[in-house]
Amino acid sequence: MTIDWQKEVEARKDDLLQDLIDLLKVKSEREDDKVTPDAPFGPGPRDALLHMLAYGERDGFVVKNVDNYAGHIEFGEGDETLGIFGHMDVVPAGDGWDTNPYEPVIKDNKIYARGSSDDKGPSMAAYYGMKIIKELDLPLSKKIRFVVGSDEESGWGDMDYYFEHEEKPDFGFSPDAEFPIINGEKGNVSVAVHLPVSNEGAYVLTSFTAGLRANMVPGTAKAVVTVADAAKAEELATAFAAFLEAHPVTGSSSIDGKTVTFDLVGKGAHGASPQIGINAATFLGLFLNDFAFAGGAKNFLAAVATYIHEDVYGEKLHTAYEDEKMGKLTMNAGLFDFDATKEQAFINLNFRYPQGTSLEKIEAGLQETLGQFEPTFSAEPHHMQPHYVPQDDPLVQTLLAVYEDHTGEKGFEQIIGGGTYGRLLKRGVAYGAMFPGYTDTMHQANEFMDLDDLFRAAVIYADAIYRLAK
């Protein structure tokens, strides 16, 4: 049987786009202060999950909601289950948008909204691939289950809960990365560095804050500093203006008597690729470290400026490691909090590490370099080990063949620092929806997905799902 997948997607492209627009309007950021028994990660993730599951009910699939943590959309029969994993939660929109991040805008054949490329757009493309197979009533030998998550951008508590109640699919993929395929993912762990708070110098650090999530490069940072007199405040503001001129950042300062407030703007990026961002927090720390702070404030700033600033590969922190297949360890300093009214300051360091090193080695490096500042360390409980599915696995071979058939480009394996739901399965990978050469705007302002790529991905997903489950 020959199926014109392109034609089938073309016939449904308007419906696909409208469903995506409606889904993108749901502000599905995790909000811990709004958690309730029926909204385990806040109302937004719950509402987006219910919205997606409602599409499955509308289209006649078997749908199950697992207590608003996660759910699935399923059809087909067989002893094996093909799993497709998407997520409806998004990282905070943050600043710097040209449009409302939750009012989708189509411009230059791109759809702009938070979640358009991570992961509502790719999820919708994969869902429509599955929907096409059902509507064509194609013969299957396996179940197809689209698992819908709501906490991928935070602690994966959705999947922990879901798999306490549901069996894992036998194999599958997540449409949450790049083509041709992602069959390897680095380990992923965040380490919190806690430092004592005190101010003993001529300059008082009242506060220093930056970051929205551990897996985002902070695009903005703010600090409030108090000095001896108004003249010192003017000197500090003048020095900051000169610093901005000399570095690849922007910002401003304001003076209120003896108090100076600094706002610095860098460039946000996905925490898995900190090298493409400009960490606003570490640049602000670099500036302030040149002044006469003392005590805990000095330790905080010195740690940031000396060991964390522009150390995306962990070389200064003595955590660096490189594996021939998986590449280099990366480090993203994603969260910063110094508050003079608290007992401890906080810096979150997110490590994406290859096979061959470990959390224990990372912590040893941190102790060696940051130990002088009297810190305590705590690793976040959600720790993902390195994951790899061999290139000769039939799953990988099939997905690469589909990609090659529809693009005319040679498929190849890839290993990334990002963590996707693909790693939930021993035989699980990530597959699209970004094509080679695509501009990655995940976790950044003005996130978008190219509409041609959206529909092209749906074609590939439809064919891939059918080949895997027929």
Tens digits of per-residue pLDDT, 175-203? Answer: 999 999 999 999 999 999 999 999 998 99
Render the burial of 155-168: b for 16+ CB within 10 Å, e for the rest. bbbbbebbeeebeb
Alpha carbons 291 and 298: distance in angstroms, whole number: 9
Bond from prior residue into 180 cis (ω within 30 degrees of 0) = yes
Note the pLDDT tens digit of each residue in 216-232.
999 999 999 999 999 99
In angstroms, the CA 197 to CA 342 distance is 7
pTM, entire model: 0.84
Q: Which of 218, 174, 103 is nearest to 387 (CA)?
A: 174
For 234-315, strand residue ranges (E) read: 250-256, 259-265, 269-270
CA angle 153, 158, 160 (to 5 degrees): 115
What's the pLDDT score for residue 380? 85
418 or 32: which leads in pLDDT:
32
The mean pLDDT value for 269-293 works out to 96
Instruction: Say whether 169 sits in a helix, a strand or coil.
Output: coil
Over the stretch 328-370, which tens digit does the pLDDT of each residue have? 999 999 999 999 999 999 999 999 999 999 999 999 999 999 9
Please indicate whether residue 152 is annotated as part of the active site. Answer: yes
* 259-265: strand order across its sheet: 250-256, 259-265, 220-226, 204-210, 330-339, 344-353, 187-196, 376-379
Identify the structural domains of the chain with CATH numbers, from first to last: 5-185+386-469 (3.40.630.10), 188-379 (3.30.70.360)
How many helices (H) and strands (E) would you count in the chain? 10, 26
pLDDT at residue 247 in the model: 98
What percentage of the chain has pLDDT greater than the value 90? Answer: 96
Round to whole Å and give the CA distance between 224 and 258: 11
Helical (H) or strand (E) element with 300: helix 296-302
* E strand map for 239-289: 250-256, 259-265, 269-270
Q: Taking residues 138-153, report their average pLDDT.
A: 97
- Does 418 score more than 90 pLDDT? no
**Would you call 119 a catalytic residue per the annotation?**
no
The separation between CA 356 and the C-alpha centre of its own chain, rounded to angstroms, equals 24
What letter does residue 94 receive in the DSSP assignment?
-
Amino acid at 94: G
Residue 64's DSSP bridge partners are: 72
Q: What is the mean pLDDT of residues 435-456?
A: 95
Phi/psi for 322 (5° steps) reads: -135, 135
Q: What is the rounded average pLDDT for all residues in the chain? A: 97
At residue 196, the pLDDT reads 97
Name residues whose C-beta falls within 8 Å of residue 157's C-beta, 6 or more positions apart in sequence. Answer: 40, 41, 69, 151
DSSP letter (8 states) at residue 86 = E
pLDDT digits (tens, 9 = 90+) for 89-141: 999 999 999 999 999 999 999 999 999 999 999 999 999 999 999 999 999 99
Q: How many whole angstroms separate alpha carbon 93 and alpha carbon 443?
A: 8
User: Rg of the chain's alpha carbons, rounded to an integer?
Assistant: 24
Q: Name the active-site residue from 89, 151, 176, 178.
A: 89
Q: Which band of pLDDT confidence, cut at 50, 70 and 90, is reported for residue 23?
A: very high
Q: Where are the alpha helices (DSSP H) in 136-191?
A: 157-165
CA nearest to 144, candidates 170, 180, 163: 170
Choose the catalytic residue: 29, 74, 152, 170: 152
CA-wise closest residue to 406 among 468, 470, 469, 453: 453
3 state SS for 134-175: HHCCCCCCCEEEEEEECCCCCCCHHHHHHHHHCCCCCEEEEC
